[in-house]
Structure 1
Amino acid sequence: MSMKKRVYSSGVAVLVCGSLLLGACSSDKAGQKGASDANVSAPGALPITKEKVTITVTVPSSPTVLSWEYGKNELTTWLEDQTNVHIKWNFYPAADAKTKLNLELSSGGDMGDLIMGNFSLDNSALATYGSQGIIRPIEDLVEKHGVNIKKMYSEYPNTKQATSAPDGHIYGIPQVGVCYNCDRAMRFWVNKSFLKALNMSVPTTTDELYQYLKAVKEKDPNGNGKKDEIPMTGSKTSWFAKIDQFIMNAFTYQDPNGLYVKDDKVIAAFTTPEWRDGIRYLNKLSKEGLIDPTGFTNDESQLKQIVELNNGNNVGAVPSGGPHAFAANDATRLNYEIVPPLKGPKGFQTAYFNEFGVVGNYQFVIPANGKHADVVMKLIDFMYSQESFLRSRYGVPGVNWEVPKGTTAANGGEAKFKLIGKDLWQEPQNTHWQGANSTWPPFGSDSREKLPDGKFDLEKVLFDAAKLYDKYAGKVSVPKFFFEPKAATRFNELKTEINKKLEASIADFIVGNQDIEKDWDKFQSELKAMGLDEYMSIMQKEYDAKWKGSKK
């Protein structure tokens, strides 16, 4: 490899970034531990080191990555050739990677020089391990070497604000999710064939939805001579497929935790009269047999099985992020049409918009007892470059993807990439690391070249749906809070118990196990007894300190 310096770009397609860096208690010493400054190139220059440096990377194993080794894996080989940094792998079993990592962090185990991949470490974990000196503050390394990371901070300021600890340090860099449709995914779909058979239009109000579901139940729209159609079903675990989520947006703002921000106040929607009205409506649907009881317990596989009965003409409506998540076959997926945000009986109409969806999971970590912190940070920063992302997500240019000329993308703009053959994501392969080094994409997957008409084009379907919802999206999302360790522990305890109570109560109110009229006050009293006021106070205090005025 030539040792001539070359400056890398940060603009092609860095997709899912995450950077959780652990380090020694003294950041100055940690940065100098290992490779000397004389061996490290200037910011943005390749190779990273003049003399080859070996680092040990701890990562969750992946059943789809057949080999991670140099000379066998395309991404490993390309990165090592570009950077002059050799990677020695330390694998954790994927099934219990988070548990094992927390055990090692707590006991001071040897995790090598870099922890990479989605170990589901959250702000609470970073605050705890950071305050204990187990993980390294990285803001000095970012300032020194983070050419691409600083560009990312500049373009998406929320990423830096949401990952800055109460002590002022940054202990990790998040995966950055540039996904237009993902942030507007609390959606709803209806069966086109049923609409045609019933001579009805796509519902636009809660009353029209009621009339449609009632017709599905009573008028045999699949024409098999039986009243066996299911008006509406859902899933407890699939992508935004809970029975209540979309419909409640015709009554109140709410996020997946039943919260929203209005006039700089964090509000629990489930304590409001508007939320109660939404439950009343859903209870009416349930009483009349318009909601499938299994919709509260189905997993995604079960949901797909129900939808695919009667050759895909079995279900009238499904709450979901997209047809791919509730239908197994493309023909069935093509038979569902997006429903716009419904207007409720009092004229309220909104769409959930996750303003902080860009801030994803932490992806990289530098252990305190690791070496080569400068080299590791430069390697991470390089993985935020555009070509590095494209290779990490789609594979080898000219083999797995290419840049088309003058064609249209799924989002209606000029296509920025085109797959060659099959997308290898979630397929057994030696091309990339299956998202273990996901970073920051300069464009979303909807920039992919549009598929021919008549084919199910997931990216186009989801983009068009999100664009429709964007017209109604409210800027009311609750930020991703970063509490100090003691508050984080208490907050997580309260959140777990309150959400558990909320999920059970929503189902009970809808199906009638509890009476929304008679048992409402009892429900509110039970929430208060569980610590709802404290839960809200913890969030409001953090909001006031860090986010007040951000909604203007």
Structure 2
Amino acid sequence: MKGYKWLLSAAAALIVGSTLALYYNQQSKHSAARPEDPPLLLSEGLPILNKPVELTFLTGKSATSGSNWDEILLWKHYAEMTNMKVHFRLVPFESMGEERKLALATGSYPDGFYAARLTAAELMKYGKEGVFLRLNDWIPRYAPNFQKLLERYPELRQSLTMPDGGIYSIPSFYDPEFLSMLIGTPLWLNGTWLEALRLPEPQTTDELYAYMKAVKERDPNGNGIADEIPFGSLGISMFIHQLKGAWGLGNRGLAHPLVDVDESTGQLRFIPVDAKYKEVLEYVHKLYAEGLIEKDIFTIGSSEFYVKGAQNVYGSMVTPSPYTQMKQTGYIGAPALQGPHGDRLYSHVKAPLVHIGAFAITNKNKYPEATLRWIDYFFSEEGSKLFFMGVKGVSYEEAADGTLQYTERIRNHKNGLTIEQALTPYVTWLGGSYPGVVRLPLFQGSESYPASIEAARKVKPYAVKEIWPPFPYSPGSLGTEIASYASQMQAKFVTGEVPFADWDKYVGNMRMIGLDKYMSMYEQAYGAYLKSKQSE
């Protein structure tokens, strides 16, 4: 009896087991036949991802751009297009250096750095450590638009490649033929006042001085009040960069503001200790001492400068555009000035590679391939149009012949805002440093306006012929100390706080800081640059 019951139990178990096995087998076949979930990263086009994700970028902000980029039309629209919503942690450019260093040193960095002005030294250090992702193998696959730019300009790839062979950043790049963009901030003269004073355009540094003196003394605005300011800008360095070519200095462009080549010897030259640079500072000191330069030029902020400019008090200025920033017409670009020794060089020209570290992806980013595709879109014609112009029908219009222009609400704002002020709800390129490529006709900023194009045309015959790109090397803290001391003493010589009788002492101090070592490092970087050019 017990054996019979055991047989029944065994039979029942076998039936149940067979049934379960058949069920799971059928389920397994059904599961295998079911299609897998689609990949998060879509193969091409837009959207980039098949479901929404969010990222955070540490971002540099100019005083002229909006205060909350999450609400800017460009980024809201692009988030819908891509399924990638970016939160921009905005930091003023004036504070970005310290904020960037702190984030990297403490490990509190986000998914990416946008318009953050990363230096070659930071890219080298944190790229090697794996904080910034190496993009070499990813660019051909995930950044085809940027890849085309690298193929067209081999020197761009060379400049982006760090000594370890890695490319860790996406840059800000200007079309080499877009000279007004490479100039960026011309020296503008008040053409209306030139006519009122019956003076020709200054062609020499002496004639510029005479014009400034006439502005101060002869009441060109005719209001009977001595309220004219012969020259103003945001800082004195911008003016000195405009002038030094009249002494033959800066002959390799603005990417190397401290070093160029002494054409008489063929050797590298440290500009801030050169005898001709002393003459430049003596000239500017003379202007400052005679009240021909904005008295607050070392401390004036952008808002105050723009407000003053809008009151039509400046006889000359260095700024992107008196019209787009201050709604002032009548200003003309100054010609390349001839200096006291016959030099007539226009050296205020940037390298096309303007910011080597405009964008970088960090190892905290969960979607690095998608992020590279996200930034690559802005290197396409369609993406450039969105970035610079905004959304069609809202911030810009396109004529049948393809001509673009901002809408009437921006060009003639009902509250009298300048074009740049009216653009802030729509785009974020204002103030520069963004990753992307800048070219006409997609870029409609101040550098594309007729007055800026004409200013560039005027100086083109005298513009720097050989423009050095940034060298991917790191002078470290020594480089920072050298540049800082040069800047401090520049201001002190101009104001008269330090007399020019102390020039030799200043040069000696520069050597004590380590100028010879600094120049030795520069020689090595220059040698590597020449070697890379020979291999093109």
Per-residue CA shift, 1:447-502, capped at 9, x if unaligned? Answer: 659xxxxxx9972221211222222111354431222xxxx3xx242333333322
Inter-CA distance 371–149: structure 2 relative to 1 (3 Å threshold):
same
What displacement does 1:524 show? 1.0
Inter-CA distance 473–108: structure 2 relative to 1 (3 Å threshold):
same
Note if 1:472 corresponds to 2:485.
no
**Mapping for residues 15-34 of structure 1, pairs under 5 Å:** none
Per-residue CA shift, 1:485-530, capped at 9, x if unaligned? Answer: xxx3xx24233333332233233333433333x2221121111112
Note if 1:170 corresponds to 2:167.
yes
Per-residue CA shift, 1:220-279, capped at 9, x if unaligned? Answer: 333334555333333318xx743x332222112224733324567432222222222323
Which of the residues 269, 280, 283 maps onto 2:282?
A: 280
Name 2:50's counterpart in structure 1: 52
Q: Is the 8 A contact 1:64 1:429 kept in 2?
A: no
Inter-CA distance 205–141: structure 2 relative to 1 (3 Å threshold):
same
Name 1:530's counterpart in structure 2: 513
- Cα distance in structure 1, aligned partners of 2:241 and 2:515: 21
Residue type matched to 1:230 in 2? I
Name 2:16's counterpart in structure 1: none
Per-residue CA shift, 1:93-122, capped at 9, x if unaligned? Answer: 5457776665555555684xx425223322
- Cα distance in structure 2, aligned partners of 1:52 and 1:386: 24
Note if 1:521 corresponds to 2:508.
no
- Cα distance in structure 1, aligned partners of 2:498 and 2:53: 58
Residue type matched to 2:114 in 1? G
- Cα distance in structure 2, aligned partners of 1:378 and 1:188: 39
Which of the residues 57, 76, 80 maps onto 2:79?
A: 76
Note if 1:419 corresponds to 2:406.
yes
What displacement does 1:210 show? 2.4
Inter-CA distance 68–431: structure 2 relative to 1 (3 Å threshold):
closer
Inter-CA distance 252–374: structure 2 relative to 1 (3 Å threshold):
same
**Mapping for residues 310-459 of structure 1, pairs under 5 Å:** 312=312, 314-324=313-323, 328=326, 330=327, 333-360=328-355, 362-406=357-401, 416-423=403-410, 439-441=435-437, 443-444=439-440, 448=444, 459=449
Name 1:3's counterpart in structure 2: none
Where 2:454 maps in the other structure, the secondary structure is helix
Per-residue CA shift, 1:286-315, capped at 9, x if unaligned? Answer: 45443343334333333344445xx52x33
Q: Is the 8 A contact 1:349 1:472 kept in 2?
A: yes
- Cα distance in structure 1, aligned partners of 2:367 and 2:193: 62
Q: Is the 8 A contact 2:388 2:443 kept in 1?
A: no
- Cα distance in structure 2, aligned partners of 1:536 and 1:37: 56
Aligned residues: 475
Q: Is the 8 A contact 2:55 2:85 kept in 1?
A: yes
Identity of aligned residues (%): 24
Q: Is the 8 A contact 1:121 1:361 kept in 2?
A: yes
Inter-CA distance 365–464: structure 2 relative to 1 (3 Å threshold):
same
Q: Is the 8 A contact 2:40 2:51 kept in 1?
A: no
What displacement does 1:546 show? 2.5
Name 1:460's counterpart in structure 2: 450
Where 1:334 maps in the other structure, the secondary structure is coil
- Cα distance in structure 2, aligned partners of 1:129 and 1:422: 45
Specify the structure having the higher radius of gyration (Cα): 2
Where 2:526 maps in the other structure, the secondary structure is helix
Q: Is the 8 A contact 2:235 2:298 kept in 1?
A: yes
Where 2:462 maps in the other structure, the secondary structure is coil
Where 2:137 maps in the other structure, the secondary structure is helix
Q: Is the 8 A contact 1:73 1:431 kept in 2?
A: no
Aligned-residue CA RMSD (Å): 3.9
Where 1:189 maps in the other structure, the secondary structure is strand
- Cα distance in structure 2, aligned partners of 1:437 and 1:231: 30
Name 2:303's counterpart in structure 1: 301
Which of the residues 215, 225, 248 maps onto 2:244?
A: 248
Residue type matched to 1:148 in 2? N
Q: Is the 8 A contact 2:349 2:463 kept in 1?
A: no
- Cα distance in structure 2, aligned partners of 1:323 and 1:87: 37
Where 1:135 maps in the other structure, the secondary structure is coil
Per-residue CA shift, 1:125-173, capped at 9, x if unaligned? Answer: 2211111122321101113333211101122333322211110111122
Residue type matched to 1:499 in 2? A
- Cα distance in structure 1, aligned partners of 2:321 and 2:436: 23
Q: Is the 8 A contact 2:70 2:87 kept in 1?
A: no
Which stretches in structure 1 are left out of the alignment for 5+ residues? 1-34, 81-85, 407-414, 450-455
- Cα distance in structure 1, aligned partners of 2:293 and 2:73: 51
Which of the residues 496, 519, 529 maps onto 2:480?
A: 496
Per-residue CA shift, 1:391-443, capped at 9, x if unaligned? Answer: 2332223443243245xxxxxxxx74222334597668876676899543462
Where 1:118 maps in the other structure, the secondary structure is strand
**Mapping for residues 107-126 of structure 1, pairs under 5 Å:** 111=110, 114-115=111-112, 117-126=114-123
**Mapping for residues 205-220 of structure 1, pairs under 5 Å:** 205-220=204-219
Where 2:118 maps in the other structure, the secondary structure is coil
- Cα distance in structure 1, aligned partners of 2:523 and 2:381: 38
Name 2:258's counterpart in structure 1: 258
Name 1:83's counterpart in structure 2: none
Which of the residues 146, 152, 177 maps onto 1:149?
A: 146
**Mapping for residues 62-73 of structure 1, pairs under 5 Å:** 63-65=67-69, 67=71, 73=76
What displacement does 1:90 show? 5.1
Inter-CA distance 131–447: structure 2 relative to 1 (3 Å threshold):
closer
Inter-CA distance 56–127: structure 2 relative to 1 (3 Å threshold):
farther
- More helix as a share of residues: 2
- Cα distance in structure 2, aligned partners of 1:417 and 1:150: 27
* TM-score normalized by the length of structure 1: 0.74
Residue type matched to 1:202 in 2? E
Q: Is the 8 A contact 1:392 1:437 kept in 2?
A: no
Where 2:392 maps in the other structure, the secondary structure is coil
What displacement does 1:48 show? 6.9
What displacement does 1:534 show? 1.8
